[in-house]
Amino acid sequence: MKSFSQSALVVVAAMFGAAQANWGWAHLNGTDGLNTQSCGTVCADTPYKVALPTPLANPARCCASVTIAYNGINTQGTYTDICTSCPTVNNGVDGNITLSQALWDKLNTGSDDTVFLTWNV
């Protein structure tokens, strides 16, 4: 049983490795100084929207699902917007993102106005 759970952990670790999660700080859409624009396509209507930094914006992925992990919460949104004012680091691999109010609310951030999370599109 012990060796089973250890190999299960290895499998889980490999899955997270393969997910190539990006990291960054998330802000609530509408925060002062943040600017977003459409990623180029009108996506299916959803309250769970994500704006990704300009250097990461790939028009081919517009409307793709974005997986977000924060503080034990795993959820998904839709890449609907480019965040033209969100900085990136690590040559554009990681960067800050902007979330719609409904998606932000799912993270139970309390009084924090920005939270560090991982995201993957």
Ligand X SMILES: *[C@@H]1O[C@H](CO)[C@@H](O)[C@H](O)[C@H]1NC(C)=O
Among 22, 39, 57, 81, binds ligand X (CB under 6 A): 81
If one asks whether residue 82 binds ligand X (CB under 6 A), the answer comes out as no
Beta carbon of residue 2, minimum distance to ligand X (angstroms, whole number):
40
Give the interface segment with ligand X, choosing from 5-13, 14-22, 62-70, 92-100 (CB under 6 A).
Answer: 92-100
Can you give the length of the chain in residues?
121
Nearer to ligand X, 10 or 87 (CB): 87
92 binds ligand X (CB under 6 A): no
**Cα(46)–Cα(13) distance, rounded to whole angstroms?**
31
- Residue 46 amino acid letter: T
- For β-strands 22-28 and 65-70, DSSP reports them as unpaired
CB of 52 to ligand X, least distance (A): 9
Of residues 104, 103, 92, the one with CA closest to residue 23: 92
Residue pair 96/87 in contact by the 8 Å Cβ criterion: yes
Q: What residues make contact with ligand X under the rule CB under 6 A?
A: 25, 29-30, 36, 49-51, 80-81, 87, 89, 96, 98, 100, 114
